[in-house]
Structure 1
């Protein structure tokens, strides 16, 4: 959070980075596209394709606004500046759409952006996201994020505390089993896999995580 606040405070327009702003570089086509993407997200704030497309559009317009003063000799500085603009834009958009009562994806994005600087707050956001999603997609994303950031025990605790095998999509159960393996909880992984197989086929599981079943069962392929 301190890092994000620092990034936001370095630009006077940070508070409106998620909003469409008229500028010499904002083309009519961009305005129409941005309005269309915002309409999609207003209807479904968990539309990841629309969110990512809007993010690219906002970042591109932010980059265009500063293009008049670009120094071609400062390529590395420009690259760092672009990364900052992308981070600020992603944060602003995720925060904007997270206010929707059914929005879980924006919360996972906020968690992804803050996981390294404030892991407790990130986990709180992930927990809130899971509570908003009855299908388990948020759970799958949350567990995967924690596992990929070397927080396998937190991933396992979150998974076991919120997984509903009868209601959640197979990807959520796969994430639970994988989290158990990463936490060296083999018996729990076997139990979770058995429960998952009661609601999903082996083919469905293998399509999501090809090695999972064999790893749980201790099968070694030559």
Structure 2
């Protein structure tokens, strides 16, 4: 079922939010990584979906009462946008939706996103997502295989250091910080993670 059809199911009647959702979807077709548009659209989905069930397109049944229709709409949106070869942000959102029930799929989505985004922002977000979900070792594997300390943003190294700390691999954390010091010695996030690590050693 198309995203806009799902959006229309969430509204009791014609709503300016539905029109705005359509406008944002057009904007995201032009730039699937427009995070402001994506986040605004997510907020609209939440606003519309608080109390209205949607039909599951696989079963044609309404979602059970304890399930929210919002996830279904977010999934449709993210999956649709992720089909664009430029898209990385929608893949991170898919990973966020997948991580609880299908960690393997989430890891794949993170890896694809990281491969599509050059600055390291997608990699940073993917590492942080995995650590928050309780998979710091997996986060380290992905990060160590893709991190380029000389080119990526500081957040990748910081996130990878946090993954190492969460995994109890403090020697790796120290090594990552040494790489960060070469380019970002005075960055406040680097200083903070160094202080956190120092308290553990």
TM-score w.r.t. the length of structure 1 is 0.75
> For the Cα contact (< 8 Å) 1:59–1:85, is it kept in 2?
no
Match of 1:40 among 16, 27, 31: 27
Offset at 1:155?
0.9
Paired residues, number:
189
**Cα 1:119–1:65, aligned 2, differ >3 Å: closer, same or farther?**
closer
Once residues 92 and 153 of structure 1 are traced to their aligned partners in structure 2, the CA distance between those partners, rounded to angstroms, is 30
> For the Cα contact (< 8 Å) 1:108–1:142, is it kept in 2?
yes
Offset at 1:86?
0.9
Aligned position for 2:13? 25
**Cα 1:55–1:218, aligned 2, differ >3 Å: closer, same or farther?**
closer
Offset at 1:204?
3.6
Unaligned 5+ runs, structure 1: 1-14, 67-76
> For the Cα contact (< 8 Å) 1:111–1:123, is it kept in 2?
yes
Offset at 1:58?
3.6
Pick the structure with greater CA Rg.
1
Unaligned 5+ runs, structure 2: 54-63
Once residues 50 and 173 of structure 2 are traced to their aligned partners in structure 1, the CA distance between those partners, rounded to angstroms, is 47
- Output aligned runs, 1:1-222, within 5 Å: 15-19=1-5, 21=8, 25-27=13-15, 29-61=16-48, 80=66, 84-206=68-190, 211-218=192-199
> For the Cα contact (< 8 Å) 2:52–2:69, is it kept in 1?
no
Aligned position for 1:8? none
Offset at 1:169?
1.0
> For the Cα contact (< 8 Å) 2:110–2:126, is it kept in 1?
yes
Offset at 1:43?
2.5
The CA RMSD measured in Å over matched residues stands at 2.5
